[in-house]
Amino acid sequence: MNKQGVKIVTIGGGSSYTPELMEGFIKRYEKMPIREIWLVDIEEGKEKLEIVGKMAQRMWDASGYDVKVYLTLDRREALKDADFVTTQFRVGRLNARIRDERIPLSYGMMGQETNGAGGIFKALRTIPVILSIVEDMKELCPNAWLINFTNPSGMVTESVLRYGGWEKIIGLCNVPVGLMLKEPPMLNLTQDDVVFKFAGLNHFHWHKVFDRNGNDITRDIIDKIVEGKVDTGTPANIKELPIYREQLYQMNMIPCGYHRYYYRYQEMLADLLKNYENNQCRGQVVKQVEAELFELYKNPDLKEKPEQLSKRGGAHYSDAACETIVSIYTNGNTHLVVTTRNNGALPDLPADCAVEVSAFIGAAGARAIAFGPLQPAQRGWLQVMKNMELCVEEAAVTGDYGLLLQAFILNPLIPSGDDARRVMDELLVAHEKYLPQFADKIQELKEKGVMPKDPVARKLM
């Protein structure tokens, strides 16, 4: 790694999140001097790449640091001799997300970006692309670290470990960062006053909190959460329904916001269906927020991240990504929550699978902190979800329709039966362009006349 200045490549560089990433690197420049940043995107994202690329360069120019931002549609040109590669792309862009959400909702099922049927199809589209990126990295930057923020982050990261033959990868999510920021103030403490221990999977983890003397203060935080007068750090895209108090006290762990989709399925689904009946889903909202953000980014006088970016649902992204990269660069051994190999941290799961846990991050990557076995309720959830993920990942690589059907039947947010299979088939047809591994099956479905019944999804094909 070049100590004279680091080369960073961001794939999906035209994302609205890129200014937050730039802000994070600017704040940490004294710890990790950057030589150049390459923002990479695809032809369809060229306009956004140019807008956000100019914004990024203005941010660096205003910082006083001499960093050059390069823009390219040629991934291989960018990757050569990179030190770190960050990934934040969305295969099919926001129109694909809207289809992921609306097609299940049209059958009265959970339509959500990273959970249920939508999350499965996001993984199917994304995993082959991340594996192709890894093949380029093996040739062009074999010593680089891959820092993945692309959702579903857990399955994408695990696929690189399991099928890509690339160990230098860490998966990230902003959700734990939000929790770690919001919970200490509930007890008039700072982050330096507490120790967090996370255990689970991406968007499906629990955590405990201890004070500096090692005392478990999780219940004290649960008391505050139950009182309902605190900001719990729930992401902006999740309706903040309370978790049942008796359940919280029994587990004596704090679940992440996404658990509401599983613990309060009926109520969360009803809220999504209400929006759907008004012809709206979260992806459509995000599309509007994105349009507003890019209008702001066009302003030649804008040189810092706008406040509106917090509405996008990815707040604290840069804290997760930049801290991880700087900790590797400086061998900082910083405590962060990441997706990495289990290696016994959660004995209820195989050692070689990927988990989202507390870890120390240094030059050798992530060293997962042992959490220990979970109680039966959490263990049951964890094992079902992990095995569902493993089915999805293998199906993404092999194009095995039967295995994909198994994943649908396993997923707790997908009621099994003929409607579930219809949703699956409609999603396959709707995403044909991005699912070449299922080409033969999709052709068969099209010959049978399969087509999304949701009019918006059809229009966006």
pLDDT class of 305 with cuts at 50, 70, 90: confident
pLDDT at 314: 57
Could you give the count of Cα atoms lying within 13 Å of 193 in the half-sphere of its Cβ? Answer: 10
Listed in sequence order, the residues at least 6 apart from 215 whose beta carbon sits closer than 8 Å to its beta carbon are none
Query: Quick one: how far is CA 48 from the chain centroid?
Result: 21
| pLDDT of 311 over the 80 cut | no
In this prediction, residues 56-78 reach a mean pLDDT of 97
pLDDT at 32: 97
In this prediction, residues 180-199 reach a mean pLDDT of 96
pLDDT at 372: 97
Listed in sequence order, the residues at least 6 apart from 42 whose beta carbon sits closer than 8 Å to its beta carbon are 73
pLDDT at 142: 98
Rounded to whole angstroms, how far apart are CA atoms 98 and 96?
A: 5
CB 2 within 8 A of CB 76: no
CATH H-level superfamily of 6-173: NAD(P)-binding Rossmann-like Domain (3.40.50.720)
Mean pLDDT of the chain: 95
CB 6 within 8 A of CB 84: yes
Q: Which string of b and e fits 404-422 if b means at least 16 CB within 10 Å?
A: bbbbbbbbebbbeeeebeb
- Read off the amino acid at residue 245: R
Rounded to whole angstroms, how far apart are CA atoms 58 and 69?
A: 10
Question: Which pair of tokens denotes residue 293?
Answer: 């953000």
| pLDDT of 185 over the 90 cut | yes
| pLDDT of 229 over the 80 cut | no
Digit-coded pLDDT (tens) for 255-300: 999 999 999 999 999 999 999 999 999 999 999 989 999 999 999 9
| pLDDT of 22 over the 70 cut | yes
User: What string of H, E and C letters represents the secondary structure of the chain?
Assistant: CCCCCEEEEEECCCCCCHHHHHHHHHHCCCCCCEEEEEEECCHHHHHHHHHHHHHHHHHHHHHCCCCEEEEECCHHHHHCCCCEEEECCCCCHHHHHHHHHHHHHCCCCCCCCCCHHHHHHHHHHHHHHHHHHHHHHHHHCCCCEEEECCCCHHHHHHHHHHHCCCCCEEECCCHHHHHHHHCHHHHCCCHHHEEEEEEEECCEEEEEEEECCCCECHHHHHHHHHHCCCCCCCCCCCCCCCCCHHHHHHHCCEECHHHHHHHCHHHHHHHHHHHHHCCCCHHHHHHHHHHHHHHHHCCCCCCCCCHHHHHHCCCCHHHHHHHHHHHHHHCCCEEEEEEEECCCCCCCCCCCCEEEEEEEEECCEEEECCCCCCCHHHHHHHHHHHHHHHHHHHHHHHCCHHHHHHHHHHCCCCCCCHHHHHHHHHHHHHCHHHCHHHHHHHHHHHHCCCCCCCHHHHHCC
Rounded to whole angstroms, how far apart are CA atoms 168 and 156?
A: 14
pLDDT at 150: 96
Query: pTM for the complete prediction?
Result: 0.96
Q: Where in the chain is the domain with CATH 3.40.50.720?
A: 6-173
Listed in sequence order, the residues at least 6 apart from 133 whose beta carbon sits closer than 8 Å to its beta carbon are 11, 75, 85, 87, 146
pLDDT at 232: 81
Rounded to whole angstroms, how far apart are CA atoms 461 and 457?
A: 7
Digit-coded pLDDT (tens) for 80-102: 999 999 999 999 999 999 999 99
pLDDT class of 389 with cuts at 50, 70, 90: very high
Digit-coded pLDDT (tens) for 391-433: 999 999 999 999 999 999 999 999 999 999 999 999 999 999 9
Cα(first)–Cα(last) distance of the chain, in Å? 43
CB 57 within 8 A of CB 26: no
| pLDDT of 217 over the 80 cut | yes
pLDDT at 3: 59
pLDDT at 312: 63
In this prediction, residues 226-253 reach a mean pLDDT of 89
The one catalytic residue in 258, 261, 297, 329 is: 258
Digit-coded pLDDT (tens) for 151-166: 999 999 999 999 999 9
pLDDT at 228: 86
pLDDT at 240: 87
Told to judge if 258 belongs to the known catalytic residues of this protein, a careful annotator would answer yes
